[in-house]
């Protein structure tokens, strides 16, 4: 008997999860696929996920009509941190003699070496890796690395999933977007009924924006949220800052929402909306998180010594998927690599662009550029020193 184990947070379960199950059944000849929602994944400790019971129910709804697939509450019932080595051991004991496969995405392959007792996992199950659209994983290189460590190979599933993630779905939920391309009707209805991924004030703020600006804010939120887990930021705060960063962009100066707002003196006109946006967020929507307010307040100008959230919103505003200008690919690569390096490169680009256009450069932007240029210079010195 061939059994594939498919674990994850499923927060929420989406269409590509179902497609991966079907691919495993077809390509591996799996007699059974067991979907195992995690109680607390090791790499997501402290993250504010949907409640375990809701994630289990969504998984049951999503896979209810899929033959040869069952949803297990094993990790939820066990509680605590959900370690895959224990899960694989449990199902090996439950199905003695069965050939076990462990399904993971290519993003998880990179982290597998740091999992708890990876050798014990491989002693009981064969690792099966699925690529995802947009990810550049060289399986040949990874096989060599994998064999050097474990003296075993992994199986590459001949299926490339669409570029859909639970993070993307959560952002779309917060923005009130159509979820039908990504979720089953039952799961979408469950989420809507329980308001699982609602972020307060987001939909209200979006009503103030023109359609094109709303789409821009969504793209900013998608890029920013994709970095939230890496930098251990609360995802809801990231989404809130992204959604509200341009909230005042389409408001006239005499709008009732801006009554009492006094812009700082000497600020170039293109920068004013960041201060108006922070005022709007605080006084109209009741946002009290100072980090969120500062991320809105400095998302156009930047400033020296920005917080991680401030940097992510500033850079996501500049580099979101709808933007296109020379060398943007290099800046996006730097964003994925190092935020401070990316800030230096982005501010350098902005200063050059504004100078070429003959427009004024906000003194705050100039100071931010000098600050991150110095940081980048110090980083280069440190790296060279370490190399020696």
Residue pLDDT, tens place only, 97-129: 999 999 998 888 888 999 999 999 999 999 999
334/219 same-domain check: yes
Which pLDDT value is given to residue 130? 85
121/203 same-domain check: no
pLDDT tops 70 at residue 385: no
Per-residue pLDDT reduced to its tens digit, 292-302: 999 999 999 99
Handedness of CA 131, 134, 139, 144 (dihedral sign): negative
Q: Where are the beta strands (DSSP E) in the chain?
A: 2-8, 32-37, 69-71, 99-105, 125-132, 155-161
**Total Cβ atoms within 10 A of residue 87:** 22
Per-residue pLDDT reduced to its tens digit, 33-80: 999 999 987 766 446 789 999 999 999 999 998 899 999 999 999 998
**Domain-located, residue 182:** no
Which pLDDT value is given to residue 106? 84
Residues 233, 308 contacting (CB under 8 angstroms): yes
Per-residue pLDDT reduced to its tens digit, 172-186: 999 999 998 899 999
Q: Report the CATH number that the domain containing residue 19 is assigned in CATH.
A: 3.40.50.620
Residues 42, 81 contacting (CB under 8 angstroms): yes
Share of the chain above pLDDT 90, in %: 81
Q: Which two tokens stand for residue 60?
A: 């049951």
Residue ending a domain, among 139, 162, 185, is 162
Contacts of 146 (CB under 8 A, 6+ apart): 109, 152, 153, 154
Residues 130, 161 contacting (CB under 8 angstroms): yes
Separation between Cα atoms, residue 325 and residue 122, nearest integer Å: 46
Q: Sort strands 99-105 and 32-37 into parallel, antiparallel or unpaired.
A: unpaired
- Split into its structural domains, the chain has a count of 2
Report the b/e string of 305-342 with b at 16+ CB within 10 A.
ebebbbbbbbbbbbbbeebeeeeeeebbebbeeebbbb
Q: Report helix, strand or coil for 5.
A: strand
Does the pTM surpass 0.85? The reply is yes
**Domain-located, residue 313:** yes
**Domain-located, residue 191:** no
Band of residue 381 on the pLDDT scale cut at 50, 70, 90: low
24/94 same-domain check: yes
Which pLDDT value is given to residue 136? 65
306/377 same-domain check: yes
Band of residue 388 on the pLDDT scale cut at 50, 70, 90: very low
153/204 same-domain check: no
**Domain-located, residue 277:** yes
157/268 same-domain check: no
146/220 same-domain check: no
**Domain-located, residue 135:** yes
Band of residue 273 on the pLDDT scale cut at 50, 70, 90: very high
233/357 same-domain check: yes
Separation between Cα atoms, residue 114 and residue 125, nearest integer Å: 17
Band of residue 387 on the pLDDT scale cut at 50, 70, 90: very low
88/145 same-domain check: yes
**Cis peptide leading into residue 12 (ω within 30°):** yes
Q: Report the CATH number that the domain containing residue 252 is assigned in CATH.
A: 1.10.3210.10
Which pLDDT value is given to residue 383? 44
Contacts of 83 (CB under 8 A, 6+ apart): 42, 115, 116, 117
Residues of the domain holding 310: 199-384
Per-residue pLDDT reduced to its tens digit, 225-247: 999 999 999 999 999 999 999 99
Residue ending a domain, among 106, 133, 162, is 162
Residue 253 buriedness (CB in 10 A; 0-12 / 13-18 / 19+): exposed
123/260 same-domain check: no
Residues 74, 90 contacting (CB under 8 angstroms): yes
Which pLDDT value is given to residue 110? 85
**Domain-located, residue 171:** no
Residues 126, 69 contacting (CB under 8 angstroms): no
Residue ending a domain, among 112, 133, 162, is 162
Separation between Cα atoms, residue 315 and residue 13, nearest integer Å: 29
Contacts of 89 (CB under 8 A, 6+ apart): 120, 124
246/352 same-domain check: yes
Residue 167 buriedness (CB in 10 A; 0-12 / 13-18 / 19+): middle
Which pLDDT value is given to residue 133? 60
Partnered with residue 128 across adjacent β-strands are 103, 155
147/228 same-domain check: no
Which pLDDT value is given to residue 217? 98
pLDDT tops 50 at residue 386: no
**Domain-located, residue 324:** yes
**Domain-located, residue 170:** no
Kindly report the average pLDDT of the chain as a whole number. Answer: 92
């Amino acid at each position: 008997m061939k059994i594939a184990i498919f674990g994850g947070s499923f927060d929420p379960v989406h269409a590509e999860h179902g497609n991966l199950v079907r691919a495993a059944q077809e390509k591996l000849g799996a007699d059974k696929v067991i979907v195992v929602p995690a109680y607390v994944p090791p790499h997501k400790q402290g993250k504010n996920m949907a409640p375990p019971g809701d994630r289990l129910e969504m998984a049951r709804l999503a896979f209810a009509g899929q033959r040869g697939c069952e949803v297990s509450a094993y990790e939820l019932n066990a509680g605590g941190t959900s370690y895959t080595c224990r899960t694989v051991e449990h199902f090996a004991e439950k199905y003695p003699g069965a050939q076990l496969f462990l399904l993971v995405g290519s993003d998880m392959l990179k982290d597998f070496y740091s999992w708890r007792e990876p050798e014990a996992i491989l002693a009981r199950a064969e690792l099966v890796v699925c690529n995802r659209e947009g990810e550049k994983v060289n399986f040949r290189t990874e096989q060599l690395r994998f064999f050097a460590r474990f003296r075993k190979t992994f199986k590459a599933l001949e299926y490339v999933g669409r570029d859909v993630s639970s993070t993307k779905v959560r952002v779309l939920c917060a923005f009130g977007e159509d979820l039908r391309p990504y979720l089953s009707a039952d799961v979408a209805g469950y989420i809507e009924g329980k308001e699982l991924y609602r972020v307060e004030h987001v939909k209200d703020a979006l009503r103030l924006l023109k359609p094109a600006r709303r789409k821009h804010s969504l793209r900013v939120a998608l890029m920013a949220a994709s970095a939230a887990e890496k930098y251990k930021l609360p995802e809801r705060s990231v989404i809130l800052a992204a959604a509200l960063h341009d909230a005042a962009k389409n408001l006239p100066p005499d709008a009732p929402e801006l009554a009492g707002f006094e812009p700082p003196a000497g600020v170039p006109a293109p920068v004013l909306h960041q201060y108006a946006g922070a005022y709007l967020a605080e006084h109209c929507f009741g946002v009290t998180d100072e980090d969120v307010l500062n991320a809105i307040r400095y998302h156009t100008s930047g400033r020296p010594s920005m917080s991680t959230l401030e940097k992510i919103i500033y850079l996501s505003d500049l580099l979101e998927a709808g933007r296109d200008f020379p060398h943007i690919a290099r800046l996006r690569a730097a964003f994925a690599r190092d935020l401070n390096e990316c800030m230096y490169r982005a501010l350098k680009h902005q200063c050059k662009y504004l100078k070429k256009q003959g427009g004024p450069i906000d003194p705050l932007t100039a100071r931010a550029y000098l600050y991150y240029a110095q940081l980048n210079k110090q980083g280069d010195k440190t790296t060279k020193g370490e190399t020696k």
